[in-house]
C-alpha cells in the first residue's frame, strides 16, 4: 500500500477527471494574445472548473490551456517555457520530421491547415462546456470578457451526435481508469498482463508514471515561485509548475463519411450485411460498440463487470480472425495480452507487434501498452450523416472529430500511438498498410502501395481489400499545457 499524498482535486482542471458528458454543448476557442496585460489580468482571475465532483453539475464549465508560443506571448520567461517537455515546446506542426512521423503529409500537411502550424499557432485554448441550451449565452459572455486581451483565431464548434462518431460508430467506450487513490505500485515489473488501471503520472504531471518516474516539467526555484506553487514530490526543494497539469493534444480531423460508406459498399458489392462486416472490421467494434473479439475470457483489472464493452483483450484471437490485427482499436490499444498463443517471451511478441528488432528492444521496454495509453476527450463537429444518407448522396458537407487527448508524455503516448501504431506500415507484421480509418495511403519508399487492409480468415486464405481512399484529413492541430489551477494563476503573473 502506497503512502502517497491524496490528490488535490481542487487544483486540477476538471477535464482530467470528467468527460463533461452532461455538458452536451461545447465550443473550443483558439486565441492569440493581443494585449499582454489585459490577457494576464483575465487569466489571473477567470473561474476555471476543477476536478472536484459537483452535484448537480453546474450549467457551464471552462478549461484553459496554453501552447508554448502562448506562454511566451504572455511574457513567461524562456527559461521556464524551455523546461517543459521538448515536444510541447516544439509544437505539433512546426517541423517536417514530426509531420512525417504523425502522417501530416500530403493533404494533411501543416501548411494546408486551417489553423496551427508555423506562424498560425494558437496561444490559448479555451474549452467551453455547457448543459443543453446554455452554451450560446456562456460563449457570448466569455467572448466579451476576453475581447480586451485576445484576438479570436478560430471558434471550433461541436455537435452532439449522442455518443456516435461521424462514421456512425459508438465512441468513447474505452478509457484508461486513472488511479486517483494512488493504489497502484509504480514500476511494478510483474505487470505484463493487461490492466485498465493506469498510474496518475501517465496523465498528470508531478506524479509517478508507469515507469516509476516523473515526466518533464519545469521545477522552479521556490524563491522565484513564491508560495503559490506546490513543492515537487520528487524534488522537495523545488516548486513544481507542472503538478496537477497535463499535456493536451488537439487535432481537427475531417471525416469523409460519404467516401467511407461508398467505398465499403463497393467492396461489399452492395450487400448490406457484408458492408457492415467490413466497416466493423476496420474499426474493431460493431457500430453498437460491441468488440469483434467477443467478451472477456479473463479478468481485467479496472474493468470486467458483465456487459462492459471494454473488458476484453486479444489473447483469444492472436491471428486476428475475429478482430483484424490492423483494426483501428486494435492498433490504438493492442492491450498487451496480445501474446500469440505459444509465443516464447515478451521480446518476440514485441518484435512481432511493433516491427522493432530484438536487440533494440532489449534496451527498450516501451512495447508494453501500459506506457501508451491516452485519455480521450474529443468531440464531434458538423452535421450528422447516417450511413444510409452517405450511400444515397453524391457527397456533402463532411463532419469530423476535434480529437483531444490528455497525456503526460506527448512523445511516448500520443506521438507513439499515432506514429508507430496508427501510421506504422508493419504493425503486428502487417504488409504495408496503415490504420484503415486514419491512414494517408501515400505510397511507401520505392512506390509500394499502403492502401490495403487485411482481413484474415480461419477457413482459407485471408481477404485483402486494396485501394482504400484517405478517409480522414487533418485540418489543424497543436499541443497545449493544461495547467493546474495554482500554476494557471502563477503563469498569469510570471516573468
Nearer to ligand HEM, 172 or 340 (CB): 172
Q: How many C-alpha atoms does 235 have within 13 Å on its Cβ side?
A: 17
* Spatial CA neighbour of 93 closest among 250, 256, 255: 250
171 counts as binding ligand HEM under rule CB under 6 A: yes
Distance CA 264, CA 278 (A): 7
Which residue in 374, 455, 491, 492 binds ligand HEM (CB under 6 A)?
Answer: 374
- Cα 344 to Cα 324: distance, rounded to the nearest angstrom: 22
The answer to the question of residue 350 lying near ligand HEM (CB under 6 A) is no
Q: Which one of 255, 313, 353, 434 is in contact with ligand HEM (CB under 6 A)?
A: 255
**Cβ closer to ligand HEM: 330 or 489?**
330
Q: Is 451 in the site for ligand HEM (CB under 6 A)?
A: no
C-beta neighbour count of 233 within 10 angstroms: 15
491 vs 71: CA distance, rounded Å: 8
Give the max Cα distance, the chain. 70
Q: Which of 73, 283, 420, 465 binds ligand HEM (CB under 6 A)?
A: 283
Q: CA 211, 213, 217: angle at the middle one, nearest 5?
A: 130
Helices (H), 216-290: 222-225, 257-267, 272-283
Alpha carbon distance 142, 155 (integer Å): 12
> Is the Cα dihedral 194, 380, 277, 450 positive or negative?
negative
Residue 131 interacts with ligand HEM (CB under 6 A)? no
Kindly state whether residue 280 participates in binding ligand HEM, applying the rule CB under 6 A.
no
CB of 257 to ligand HEM, least distance (A): 10
Q: Is 165 in the site for ligand HEM (CB under 6 A)?
A: yes
Distance (Å, rounded) from C-alpha 375 to C-alpha 373?
A: 7
Give the binding range for ligand HEM (CB under 6 A) out of 29-37, 39-47, 130-138, 171-179: 171-179
Q: Is residue 174 a contact point for ligand HEM (CB under 6 A)?
A: yes
Question: Of these, 18, 28, 115, 167, which contacts ligand HEM (CB under 6 A)?
Answer: 167
Check residue 278 for interaction with ligand HEM (CB under 6 A): no
User: Candidates 16-24, 265-273, 414-422, 451-459 — which segment interacts with ligand HEM by CB under 6 A?
Assistant: 414-422
Cβ at position 407, least distance to ligand HEM in Å = 10
Q: What angle do CA 215, 476, 87 make, to 5 degrees?
A: 20
Angle between helices 272-283 and 257-267 (to 10 degrees): 120
Contact with ligand HEM (CB under 6 A): which of 173, 177, 290, 391?
A: 173
Q: Closest approach of Cβ 174 to ligand HEM, in Å?
A: 3
Our finding on whether 333 is near ligand HEM (CB under 6 A) is: yes
The contacts of residue 94 (CB under 8 Å, 6+ apart) are: 110, 117, 118, 121
Nearer to ligand HEM among residue 258 and residue 328 (C-beta):
328
Residue 481 CA to residue 74 CA, distance in Å, equals 14
User: Does 428 sit near ligand HEM (CB under 6 A)?
Assistant: no
Residues 54-93 vs ligand HEM: string with x where CB under 6 A? Answer: ----------------------------------------
Q: How many residues bind ligand HEM (CB under 6 A)?
A: 25
C-alpha cell at 113: 491547415
Contact 468, 436 (CB under 8 A): yes
Residue 429: CA count within 13 A, CB half-sphere:
12
Residue 285 makes contact with ligand HEM by CB under 6 A: yes
| Number of other residues whose CB lies within 10 A of the CB of residue 18 | 18
With CB under 6 A as the contact rule, the residue among 169, 349, 481, 490 that binds ligand HEM is 169
Q: What are the two backbone dihedrals, phi and then psi, of residue 478, each rounded to the nearest 5 degrees?
A: -165, 160
> CB-wise, 49 or 158, nearer to ligand HEM?
158
Shortest Cβ 146–ligand HEM spacing (Å): 29
* Interface with ligand HEM (CB under 6 A): 165, 167, 169, 171-174, 253, 255, 283, 285, 328-329, 332-333, 374, 401, 403, 414, 417-418, 422, 437-438, 472
Amino acid at each position: 500500500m502506497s503512502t502517497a499524498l491524496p490528490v488535490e482535486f481542487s487544483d486540477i482542471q476538471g477535464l482530467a477527471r470528467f468527460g463533461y458528458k452532461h455538458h452536451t454543448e461545447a465550443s473550443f476557442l483558439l486565441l492569440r494574445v493581443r494585449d499582454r496585460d489585459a490577457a494576464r489580468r483575465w487569466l489571473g482571475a477567470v473561474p476555471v472548473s476543477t476536478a472536484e465532483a459537483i452535484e448537480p453539475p453546474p450549467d457551464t464549465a471552462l478549461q484553459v490551456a496554453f501552447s508554448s508560443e502562448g506562454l511566451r506571448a504572455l511574457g513567461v520567461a524562456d527559461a521556464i517555457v524551455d523546461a517543459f517537455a521538448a515536444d510541447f515546446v516544439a509544437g505539433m506542426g512546426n517541423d517536417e520530421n514530426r509531420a512525417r512521423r504523425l502522417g501530416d503529409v500530403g493533404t494533411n500537411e501543416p501548411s494546408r491547415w486551417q489553423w496551427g502550424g508555423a506562424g498560425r499557432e494558437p496561444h490559448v485554448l479555451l474549452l467551453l462546456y455547457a448543459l443543453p441550451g446554455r452554451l450560446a449565452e456562456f460563449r457570448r459572455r466569455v467572448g466579451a470578457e476576453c475581447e480586451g486581451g485576445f484576438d479570436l483565431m478560430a471558434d471550433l464548434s461541436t455537435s452532439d451526435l449522442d455518443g456516435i462518431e461521424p462514421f456512425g460508430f459508438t465512441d468513447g467506450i474505452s478509457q484508461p481508469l486513472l488511479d486517483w487513490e494512488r493504489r497502484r505500485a509504480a514500476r511494478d515489473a510483474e505487470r505484463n498482463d493487461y490492466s485498465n488501471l493506469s498510474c496518475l503520472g501517465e496523465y498528470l504531471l508531478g506524479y509517478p508514471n508507469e515507469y516509476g518516474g516523473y515526466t518533464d516539467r519545469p521545477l522552479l526555484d521556490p524563491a522565484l515561485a513564491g508560495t503559490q506553487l506546490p513543492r515537487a514530490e520528487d524534488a522537495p526543494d523545488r516548486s513544481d509548475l507542472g503538478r496537477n497539469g497535463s499535456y493536451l493534444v488537439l487535432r481537427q480531423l475531417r471525416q469523409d463519411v460519404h467516401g467511407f460508406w461508398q467505398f465499403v459498399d463497393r467492396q461489399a458489392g452492395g450487400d448490406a450485411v457484408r458492408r457492415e462486416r467490413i466497416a466493423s472490421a476496420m474499426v474493431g467494434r460493431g457500430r453498437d460498440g460491441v468488440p469483434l473479439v467477443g467478451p472477456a475470457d479473463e479478468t481485467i483489472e479496472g474493468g470486467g463487470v458483465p456487459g462492459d464493452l471494454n473488458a476484453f483483450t486479444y489473447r483469444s484471437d492472436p491471428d486476428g480472425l475475429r478482430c483484424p490485427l490492423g483494426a483501428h482499436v486494435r492498433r490504438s490499444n493492442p492491450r498487451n495480452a496480445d501474446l500469440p498463443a505459444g509465443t516464447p517471451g515478451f521480446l518476440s511478441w514485441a518484435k512481432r507487434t511493433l516491427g522493432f528488432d530484438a536487440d533494440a528492444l532489449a534496451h527498450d521496454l516501451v512495447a508494453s501498452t501500459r506506457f501508451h495509453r491516452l485519455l480521450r476527450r474529443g468531440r464531434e463537429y458538423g452535421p450528422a450523416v447516417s450511413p444510409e444518407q452517405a450511400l444515397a448522396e453524391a457527397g456533402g458537407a463532411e463532419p469530423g472529430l476535434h480529437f483531444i487527448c490528455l497525456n503526460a508524455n506527448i512523445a511516448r503516448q500520443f506521438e507513439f500511438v499515432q506514429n508507430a501504431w496508427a501510421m506504422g506500415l508493419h504493425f503486428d507484421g502487417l504488409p504495408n498498410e496503415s490504420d484503415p480509418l486514419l491512414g494517408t495511403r501515400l505510397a511507401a519508399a520505392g512506390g509500394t502501395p499502403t492502401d490495403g487492409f487485411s482481413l484474415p480468415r480461419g477457413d482459407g486464405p485471408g481477404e485483402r481489400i486494396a485501394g482504400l481512399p484517405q478517409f480522414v484529413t487533418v485540418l489543424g492541430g497543436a499541443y497545449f499545457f493544461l495547467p493546474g489551477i495554482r500554476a494557471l494563476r502563477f503563469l498569469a503573473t510570471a516573468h
